[in-house]
Structure 1
Amino acid sequence: MTSRCLSEPGPTASNPWLIEGLRLFFPVAACHAILSPLVWVALFVFALPFAHDIPVSQWHAHEMIFGTYGAALAGFLTSAVPEWTDTRPRQGRALLALLWLWLPGRVIGFVGLDALVAVAAVTDLAFLGLLFWYVVKALIDRGSTRHASFAVWTGLFWVIELGVRVAWMAGMTDVAARLLHAALMVFVVFFSLAIARINVAIINLALDPSGETTPYRPHPGRQNLTAGLVALYAVAALAAPASTVPAYLALAAAAAFFDRLAEWFVGAAVFRTHVLALAGANLFAGVGFLLIGLAGLGSPLVATTGFHVLSVASLGLAVLSVFIIAGLRHTGRALHLPWQAHAAVIAMIAAGLVRVLPEIGIGTFLLGKHYVLSGCLWSFAFAIWLVGFVPLLKRPLYETARQA
């Protein structure tokens, strides 16, 4: 992200939560991430009280992707895109409008209220549509198409949400399941595109904390390769799920993510928690697609395990990493991580491993219990971030320049 001085906080400075999108939506996303697994595995024990026609597993997947990750995406785009385009960020009522549109779907999704699926569809589509407009308006004001890919993928996210809701209302839950997988892939694309931009600044700061030099230069061929292959896999899986084409494309995507690990060959600087967390998210993405590909080619694995590597381990760690990095840099602070950041990253990695390893034959004594344990670790990771970073978000240091 480009540098921007925070010495002029603007008219909404009296309410720090409404200065920019991430200060409102990152805590909101964290709260949803804390509550959702606990409601799912502890309170309702893998059932939802009002879900009858829609499978509870699809409600669960939808709320993780469009609920937790949707709020995280809103915080990221409403903060990052104004910086990239050097336009005024959305503040105040513009952010509250997004929040009020996001909330109804979450209340309905928490209990799986099939009868109000149309209401949730209207509000969720309005939320994503408004977010899309915020991104497009910044590009129009700047007169640039450089970051237009984020607008395109936000628009596709809207289209997939429409498809999921229509499929649910039509009773076509098999179609809805495929669309939810596509939605997960869209979010992996968001992660891939974002990390290509964030990682350059983060590694350079790790190598030279003064920010005066930029010794690290990424390979340009890696910037969009993973996103492109994930997109091809998503199209193939949606159009021809029974063929082996998606499996081979999943293996290609895995290879691209593994190849991207070369970006973290920067010496001792890689062992800083925020740098290692981004590398870990990339590694988990490669493992997830590897498992999906092998399962599709007949190995004794289940593709669902690969999807959980992506949704819990890779995206969970990626989102948490962005929360940590942006939570410091967008409040005018250097990347000196509080202890809560280290603890949150460890808990998130543990959540991903506990969720997946028993299903591939490692730690099988946890089978059955690993759902609850993983959900609790996931919730704890976001809870500890919330405890450590809410005070920082509430009291930004405006005198320091924002650089990432």
Structure 2
Amino acid sequence: MAQTVVLRRSQAPWTIFSYGFRPFFLGASLWAALSMALWIPFVSGIVVLPTAFDPVSWHAHEFLYGYLGAVIAGFLLTAIPNWTSRPPLIGWPLGLVFLLWVAGRVVMMFSMGLPPFAVAIVDLSLPVAIAVVAGNEILAGKNWRNLIILALLAAFILGNAIFHWEAARGNFAAHGYGLRIGLGVTVMMIAIIGGRIVPLFTRNWLTRRGGGRLPVLPMQTFDKVALLILLAALIAFVVRPAGTVTALALVLAGAAHTWRLIRWAGDRTVAEPLVWVLHIGYAFIPLGAFGLAGNVLVPDLITPSATQHLWMTGAIGTMTLAVMTRATLGHTGQNLAANAGTLCIYIALLAAVAMRLAAGIWIDHAMWLYTCAGAAWFAAFGGFAVAYGPLLLRTKTPV
């Protein structure tokens, strides 16, 4: 099996289509940078984009279902063959799936005058294709442990469809059910997958450095309880985000996942950014839960959209960038260690989180802070494309 896969990868027409992560991580980083560069003048009224969506809804959709959709696709198309020991999707089939994502970005950008149903169908084609591929491989490989991923993908697709439906009805989709479903699904996905990889990668790194206090083994009874609490809180958030019961559930989920994170020995990883960034990314799950609860219990302290970005820019942005850098290094034969450039990428993203949060506190300076946060975001993902793009485009070269 392994030799056959290596042979198939070597026969891919272009190196970029030899692994699922290659086109999708590169495309995701470029789109994250470009869409932000377009959005700041769009929301400021300086330019007008030919999209049928209002500036905030277009921005929210292209982050959650555009950028993140590509990262999820790249991650799953790379991970599932390892989970199932089944042949990977490579070559022209992978290229065609990638084109579905590109088509989605094009129709969202130029949706003005297009039938909303047609825009939705094109945009939904990628997540549906990924769900079909993932479902076939997981079922064929009898990889029952990861059936939960199929359920989350189905909910992610539903959220995107509802987002389109809300926008077509003239609603402000950025504050609708579609966005909250997609956001909730993604936070749950980070909690599940992050709950596997953060303690595992931390344990491996600490063991190589001589051991000592190690993270607890993943998915023990407490972890399962913490995930169920988070699931309940996220459902409440989707249904009634401003409810008191929702706020209390979010506080409980925040406390549970703070303790979960503490058990992973993140304080011992300060010497390696490639590891500590995973802990910071996960930390935004409880921070976001506490922040959104605070919007209900202590209103007017900070805007809900700002605290929501603790999950969006914070948890999703940081964790995806952490996985993209680590997976690219690992799968291209590089040392699993962050250089100065990678550290700068992480710092730029964390600066974007801080400035976006500040925009929700100092409302009078919000537009200026949006611009600063957007510039830092652009630097992070543009920096990834510049630093990691060459690795994604060339064959595996161990160093």
Give me the TM-score of the superposition, normalised by structure 1: 0.88
Give, in angstroms, the shift of residue 149 of structure 1: 0.8
5+ long unaligned stretches in structure 1: none
Measured at CA, do residues 373 and 205 of structure 1 come closer, stay the same or move farther in structure 2, by a change above 3 Å? same
User: Aligned in 2, Cα 1:381/1:300: closer, same or farther, shift over 3 Å?
Assistant: same
Distance in 2 between residues matched to 1:4 and 1:204, nearest whole Å: 29
Match of residue 77 from structure 2: 78
C-alpha RMSD of the superposition: 2.9
Q: Evaluate the alpha carbon distance shift between residue 176 and residue 159 of structure 1 in structure 2; reply closer, same or farther with a 3 A threshold.
A: farther
The answer on whether the counterparts of 1:202 and 1:275 sit within 8 Å (CA) in structure 2 is: yes
Question: Aligned equivalents of 2:4 and 2:277: distance in 1?
Answer: 27
Instruction: Compare relative contact order (CA 8 Å, sep 6+) and give the higher one, 1 or 2.
Output: 1
1:21-59: CA deviations, max 9, x gaps? 10110000001001011100035636743456x433112
Q: Does 1:134 align with 2:133?
A: yes
**Within 1, Cα distance between the matches of 2:216 and 2:4?**
25
Q: Which residue of 1 aligns with 2:265?
A: 265
Distance in 1 (CA, whole Å) between partners of 2:171 and 2:366 is: 31
Q: 1:148 to 1:213 in 2, by over 3 A?
A: farther
Residue identity in the other structure for 1:333 = Q
1:24 paired with 2:23, answer: yes
Distance 1:358 1:175 in 2: 17
Residue in structure 2 matched with residue 339 of structure 1 by the alignment: 340
Letter in 2 for 1:89: P
1:279 aligns to what? 279
Deviation digits for residues 127-172 of structure 1 (CA, Å, limit 9, x no counterpart): 1111001111111221221111111100111111122222222334
Report the counterpart of residue 238 of structure 2 in structure 1. 238
Q: Does the C-alpha gap of structure 1 residues 395 and 23 become closer, same or farther in structure 2, counting only changes over 3 Å?
A: same
Q: Deviations over 1:176-202 (max 9, x none)?
A: 712212211111112222212222331
Task: Write the letter of the residue equivalent to 1:278.
Answer: L
**Residue 162 to residue 338, structure 1, CA distance change in 2 (3 Å):** same
Query: Do 2:22 and 2:392's aligned partners in 1 also have CA atoms closer than 8 Å?
Result: yes
Query: Which residue of the partner structure matches residue 360 of structure 2?
Result: 359
Matched, 1:321 2:313: no
Letter in 1 for 2:102: L
Q: Which letter maps to 1:69?
A: L
> Residues 225, 350 of structure 1: CA spacing in aligned structure 2 closer, same or farther, 3 A cutoff?
farther
Which letter maps to 2:317? G
1:336 partner letter: A
For the 8 Å contact 1:250–1:292, the answer to whether it is kept is yes
Aligned to 1:169: 168
Change (3 A) 1:240 1:337: closer
Contact 1:20 1:91 in 2 (8 A): yes
Residue type of the alignment partner of 2:84: T
Partner Cα separation in structure 2 for residue 224 and residue 106 of structure 1 = 36
**d(CA) in 2 for partners of 1:281, 1:212:** 23
Q: How does 1:1-400 map to 2 (within 5 A)?
A: 8=7, 10-42=9-41, 45=44, 48-51=48-51, 54-110=53-109, 113=112, 115-173=114-172, 177-209=176-208, 216-219=215-218, 220-221=220-221, 223-265=223-265, 268-301=268-301, 302-360=303-361, 366-397=365-396
C-alpha distance in 2 between matches for 1:178 and 1:284 = 22
Q: Secondary structure at the match of 1:98?
A: helix
2:345–2:380: 8 Å Cα contact kept in structure 1? yes
Using the alignment, how far apart are the partners of 2:389 and 2:5 within structure 1?
A: 18
CA displacement at 1:61 relative to structure 2: 0.6
- Tell me how far 1:204 sits from its aligned partner: 2.4
Contact kept, 8 Å, 2:37 with 2:378, in 1: the verdict is yes
Residues paired across the two proteins, number: 395
Helix, strand or coil at the partner of 1:345: helix
Distance of aligned partners of 1:398 and 1:200 in 2 relative to their CA distance in 1, 3 Å threshold = farther
The alpha carbon displacement at 1:126 in A equals 1.9
Counterpart Cα distance in 1 of 2:95 and 2:396: 23
Q: Counterpart of 2:269 in 1: which secondary structure?
A: helix
* Partner SS, residue 10 of structure 1: helix
Q: Is residue 31–residue 383 contact of structure 1 (8 Å, CA) maintained in 2? A: yes
- Distance in 1 of aligned mates of 2:74 and 2:193: 13
* Percentage of identical aligned residues: 24
Q: CA deviation at 1:62?
A: 0.8
Alpha-carbon shift at residue 353 of structure 1 (Å): 0.6
Question: Within 2, Cα distance between the matches of 1:136 and 1:210?
Answer: 39
Deviation of 1:277 (Å): 0.6
Residue identity in the other structure for 1:320:
L
TM-score w.r.t. the length of structure 2 is 0.89
Task: Spell out, residue by residue over 1:245-276, the C-alpha distance to the aligned partner (whole angstroms, 9 max, x if none).
Answer: 22122212221221122134255334310111
Letter in structure 1 aligned against 2:316: L
